[in-house]
Amino acid sequence: MLWRKFNGENIQLPIKDAVIQAIKRETAQGYKLKVCIGTDSQVKGLETEFATVIVFLREGSGGFMFIHNEKTTQKYSVKERMLVEVAKSIEIAYELCSIFTAYDVEMEVHADINTNPQFKSNEALREAMGYILGMGFAFKAKPEAFASSCCANKVVN
């Protein structure tokens, strides 16, 4: 799985090692970190592209993110696509959660799902929330889910 920084630079290390390195570097500089993980997707013709982000927030001092993009030709309904986004976020959160626990870094999983029932993505809200909370992760949906609705949204090509 290839990850990159926002500036386009590829991350050469396995993602777990890159996250540990980032946490050590930032805490050594005196920052208290919080991590938000989210995924967004866009359908373009026959392809659906997903962008998953790991957003590191420096308390009171900005942040940075790691990005992973992948494309598929599989067709999804809106609800299915929202749940695939959540599954991709949970996969990364689960892979990294022991690191965040070990370094006392708070983590949230953000879902690009609208809490307003007038939006189609809302169909997936109950399942997504149950999935994320059932895994033991903190959960945010729109409008608080900036990792998926803003950060990941900006890096879906």
User: Domain of 35?
Assistant: 3-155
CATH number, domain with residue 63: 3.30.420
156 backbone dihedrals φ, ψ, rounded to 5°? -80, 120
Look-up of token digits 């990294």: 96
This prediction's pTM: 0.93
Q: What is the pLDDT of residue 73?
A: 97
Query: Beta strands of 14-153 (E only): which ranges?
Result: 33-44, 47-58, 63-72, 106-114, 138-142
Structurally, the chain folds into a number of domains equal to 1
Tell me the per-residue pLDDT of 2-57, one tens digit each, with 9 for 90 and over: 999 999 999 999 999 999 999 999 999 999 999 999 999 999 999 999 999 999 99
